[in-house]
C-alpha cells in the first residue's frame, strides 16, 4: 500500500514540474538568442557620433545621425552630452567618436590655441589646415550658421534704454550686474578682452553662473546682462534681446562637422552624405529648433525628423 501511495504521489509531482522545465528552457533559449544576435549586431560596422552637453549640440548630432542613416543605410550610434570641447576632441582622437560638430572660433582658440581672427574664411581655413596637420582630422563644409556669443538683456530694458549694440550699454554699465559662464570668463576670446575693447566697468565683478540658469536669472532680475549664445531658443521665448557686437570682437563660430579620416576610409558614402548638409541650416532655423526643444519641451528626435522632412533631406 505504501508503494502504491508513493507512486501516486510521485506522478503528480513529476507532471507539475514538466511545464515549468519547458518554460525555463524556452526562456533560456530566448535569452541566448537575444545575446548572440546582440553580439552579432555590435560587430557590424557602425559610425559613432557625439555631442557636447547643450541642446543645440544634441540636435545637431541627431540631425547628422538621422541623415547618414537615411542616406547610407549605416548604423549610427549616438553619444550625446559628452561634455565640453576638450572632452569631445579627446574622444575623437581616441576613436571613441567618428565625428561631432564643432564651432570654428572655438576650434581655433580652445583646441589649436591660436589667436582669434574676425574673418570667417581665414578662421575656417586655419582650422581646417591645423586639424589636418596636427590631428589627422578633416573639417568638412560648414552647416550654414554660426553660434557666437551674444550679450543678452531684457527686452524691456532694451526698449526703455534704446539698447541695440553692445556699445549702447557703456553709459549704463556701472549700474548693471553681469552674469557669465565660467568658460566665458576664462577663455582667451572671452570676458577680459571683450570688456576692455568696449570699455565696460560693471557695478561688481561678474557672477559665475551655470549656463542653464543664466536666462532665468536675467528674467528674475538677479542680473542685468548675460553672455548667451546667438542661436539659443530661449532668447525669443523669454522676450530677451541679444546685443549686436558692433566692434566685431568675437571671431566667427561657424558650425562644422569634424570627422576622423579612417571613418571616410571605412565608409566612402559618408562624404557625400555630409555634403548634403552643407549650408542647409540658417541661424534663424537653428534658433527655432532649439526653441522647440527648450521652450516647447519637444523630443529632439521628433524635431529633427520634422526639420529634415521640411528640407527634403
Q: What is the pLDDT of residues 188-229, one digit of tens each?
A: 788 999 999 999 999 999 999 987 789 999 999 999 999 999
Rounded Cα gap, residues 92 and 111, in angstroms: 12
pLDDT digits (tens, 9 = 90+) for 91-134: 999 999 999 999 999 999 989 999 888 899 999 999 999 999 99
State the cell numbers at 231. Answer: 542661436
Average pLDDT of the residues in 288-311: 96
Please report the pLDDT score of residue 41 as a whole number. 46
Residue 84: pLDDT band with limits 50, 70, 90: confident
**Whether the domain at 46-146+252-310 and the domain at 149-243 fall into the same CATH topology:** yes
174 Cβ contact list (under 8 Å, min separation 6): 201, 202, 203
| Nearby residues of 273 by Cβ (< 8 Å), 6 or more positions away | 67, 68, 71, 72
Instruction: Return the domain boundaries, the chain.
Output: 46-146+252-310, 149-243
Whether the pLDDT of residue 35 is over 80: the answer is no
Q: Quick one: CATH architecture of 149-243?
A: 3-Layer(aba) Sandwich (3.40)
Nearest to 185 by CA among 210, 219, 164, 165: 210
Return the CATH number of the domain spanning residue range 46-146+252-310: 3.40.190.10
Q: Hunting for cell 564643432 — which residue is that?
A: 102
Work out the percent of the chain whose per-residue pLDDT is above 70.
86
pLDDT at 33: 59
Say what the pLDDT of residue 212 is.
77
What is the CB-side half-sphere exposure of residue 47 using CA atoms within 13 A? 31
Q: 165 vs 85, 99, 170, 243, CA distance in Å? A: 29, 36, 10, 5
Residue 28: pLDDT over 50: yes
Q: Is the pLDDT of residue 9 over 50?
A: no
pLDDT for residue 57 is more than 70: yes
Amino acid at each position: 500500500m505504501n508503494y502504491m501511495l508513493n507512486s501516486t504521489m510521485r506522478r503528480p509531482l513529476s507532471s507539475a514540474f514538466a511545464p515549468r522545465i519547458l518554460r525555463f528552457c524556452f526562456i533560456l533559449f530566448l535569452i541566448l538568442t537575444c545575446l548572440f544576435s546582440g553580439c552579432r549586431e555590435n560587430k557590424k560596422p557602425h559610425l559613432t557620433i557625439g555631442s557636447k552637453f547643450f541642446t543645440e549640440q544634441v540636435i545637431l548630432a541627431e540631425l547628422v545621425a538621422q541623415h547618414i542613416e537615411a542616406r547610407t543605410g549605416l548604423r549610427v550610434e549616438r553619444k550625446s552630452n559628452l561634455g565640453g570641447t576638450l572632452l569631445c576632441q579627446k574622444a575623437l582622437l581616441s576613436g571613441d567618436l567618428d565625428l561631432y560638430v564643432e564651432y570654428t572660433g572655438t576650434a581655433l582658440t580652445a583646441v589649436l590655441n591660436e589667436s582669434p581672427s574676425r574673418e570667417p574664411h581665414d578662421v575656417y581655413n586655419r582650422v581646417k589646415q591645423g586639424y589636418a596637420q596636427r590631428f589627422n582630422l578633416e573639417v568638412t563644409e560648414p552647416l550654414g550658421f554660426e553660434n557666437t556669443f551674444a550679450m543678452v538683456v531684457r527686452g524691456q530694458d532694451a526698449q526703455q534704454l534704446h539698447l541695440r549694440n553692445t556699445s549702447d550699454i557703456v553709459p549704463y554699465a556701472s549700474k548693471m550686474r553681469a552674469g557669465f559662464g565660467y568658460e566665458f570668463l576664462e577663455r582667451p576670446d572671452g570676458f577680459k578682452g571683450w570688456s576692455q575693447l568696449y570699455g565696460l566697468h560693471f557695478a561688481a565683478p561678474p557672477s559665475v553662473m551655470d549656463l542653464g540658469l543664466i536666462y532665468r536669472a536675467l528674467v528674475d532680475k538677479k542680473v542685468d546682462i548675460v553672455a548667451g549664445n546667438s542661436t539659443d531658443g530661449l532668447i525669443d521665448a523669454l522676450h530677451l534681446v541679444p546685443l549686436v557686437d558692433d566692434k566685431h570682437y568675437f571671431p566667427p563660430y561657424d558650425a562644422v562637422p569634424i570627422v576622423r579620416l579612417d571613418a571616410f576610409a571605412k565608409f566612402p558614402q559618408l562624404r557625400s552624405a555630409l555634403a548634403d548638409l552643407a549650408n542647409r541650416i540658417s541661424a534663424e532655423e537653428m534658433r527655432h529648433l532649439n526653441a522647440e526643444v527648450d521652450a516647447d519641451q519637444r523630443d529632439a528626435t521628433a524635431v529633427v525628423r520634422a526639420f529634415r522632412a521640411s528640407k527634403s533631406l
